[in-house]
Amino acid sequence: MADYDYDLFVIGGGSGGVRAARVAAGEAGAKVALAEEDRYGGTCVIRGCVPKKLMVFASEFSDVAEVGNAYGWNMTSGTFDWQNFRSHLNNELDRLEGVYRSLLKNSGVDTFDARAKLKDKHTVELSDGQTKTAKTILVATGGRPVRPDMPNAHLGIVSDDIFHLETLPKSILIIGGGYIACEFACILHGLGVEVTQYYRGAQILRGFDDEARGLIAEAMRDRGIDLHTGTNIVQMGLASDDHTESGPTGSDAAMGASVQQENVMANDGTADEASAGRGGPIWVKATNGRERVFDMVLFATGRDPNTDDMGLEDLGIEIGRRGEIVVDEYSKTAADSVYAIGDVTNRVNLTPVAIREGMAFVETAFKDNPTAVDHDLIPSAIFTQPEMGTVGLSEEDARDREEIEVFCTSFRPMKTAFAGKPDRVLMKLVVSKETRKVLGCHIVAPDAGEMIQLAGVAIKMGATKEDFDRTVAVHPTMSEEIVTMRTPMRTA
């Protein structure tokens, strides 16, 4: 039997990689090492879920005085202090990174603050010049936000940059219609930024339930977000530059621009990202011909897996169209000794899923208990204002599969209706006509994420509509509507 430095070497110190490392070491008794080139905690803890949710909380205080006055409190609106908030935020992220480091240390995991790549199927080469061998290697390098391939794209920022801004802009254009774009549109609007959002599709939040995403789009516009669907950016540059003669646009390359023009665009789009958002006001031209100037542009147009320059393809490991590592149901790659979990595999890109995949990997590789992760019926939340919580099939997906009944209601919730606000919420169940099982649940409401976690338990267990009906309502709450809807609104 070959001798290795470690039983397991994990590349990536995000939530999935850290969980796999410490469980393999602490529960399976494996000798484990982990390498991380940036901060421990990964996207979720350092530049994703956690700081974003704290910004959501901060943004929700903007209308406290308005609502409080309706309830009899003599309140005046204050101003948001970004520097004060950012200081507290950085302290919290430092604390959480320390927790992650301590978890690894207390589990007996050796850590290397360095970039790692695969030299062969059992050898990892570190950026500090060291090489380490391991019987098994786990790649958990996550993903990264990407900019579009267009001239001057470097002038815009991406989601990672939001948390490092020295000051908030007075105005911002957000490009994209996914959950990251919509969440930051709501966050920044709540913090006092004038927000405009362009999305090239017909409706934001593609892939989610149509009725739910329609309500969110309506709410965003009602709150003052200047949301434009069917609209994209075609040119951008510094407002101080002369834009009377336009060169090739981002769409020219796809429509036959010359090779020379394409090379110019590629060079412009890969300029120093350190200058992102710092060049002054940005001039933008949209597909509808309108030209505007914004203090900042945020690209929320997608994320790619972190697989560049890792030596994967040299080992015969298959890489997918988006750059993802292709794995089987047990997270194993084409190389028997190499596994991959989390966003780098581009399966279900959610932190709790990466953690589940990490635990399943340990069961498979170190506990002789082959375990595949169940990626079906995963609850999720979108932290817009109002939030969306969802689990299971949308109405559109469900009706393509079988005959369904749709139970839904939309109403003004008690708290904000009393204050005279127009806010509306949605409660929706998609039910199989044949089995009576609840195929999907979609909630648009304040704290929808908290509600959908509990609804997800029932739906994962295979609850029927009649099971929901037999549950006594908690009154007065918004969520009681989930168990009091008796008549379907429509069938399909």
What gap in Å lies between CA 172 and CA 260, rounded to an integer?
Answer: 32
Q: H or E stretch including 265?
A: helix 259-269
For residue 312, give the nearest of 116, 24, 36 by alpha carbon: 116
Pairing of strands 131-139, 387-392: unpaired
Active site residue 475: yes
Give the dihedral of Cα atoms 198, 60, 295, 49; nearest 10 deg. Answer: -70
Could you give the CA distance from residue 22 to residue 97 in angstroms, rounded to a whole number?
A: 15
Q: Which whole-number Å values give the CA distances from 106 to 23, 31, 466, in the listed order?
A: 11, 13, 48
Q: Taking Cα atoms as reference points, which of 85, 22, 12 lies closest to residue 55?
A: 85
Select from 396, 425, 432, 430 the least CA-distant residue to 410. 425
Helical (H) or strand (E) element with 363: helix 351-366
Helix (H/G/I), strand (E/B), else coil: 303: strand
Q: Which of 199, 159, 207, 156 is nearest to 176 (CA)?
A: 199
DSSP secondary structure code for residue 27 in this structure: T
Radius of gyration of the chain (CA): 24
* CA separation for the pair 190, 225 (Å, rounded): 10
**8 Å CB contact between 458 and 446:** no
Single-letter code of the amino acid located at 112: F
Are 440 and 429 a contacting pair, CB within 8 Å? Answer: yes
Say how far apart CA 280 and CA 297 lie, in whole Å: 11
- Report residue 34: phi and psi, to 5°: -140, 135
Dihedral, CA atoms, 200, 205, 206, 210, nearest 10 degrees? -120
> Looking at 228, 243, 375, 475, which residue is catalytic?
475
Helix and strand numbers, DSSP H then E, in the chain: 14, 22
CA–CA–CA angle 54, 186, 177 (5° rounding): 115
CB count in 10 Å sphere of residue 120: 15
- Omega of the bond leading into 386 within 30 degrees of 0 (cis): yes
Active site residues: 475
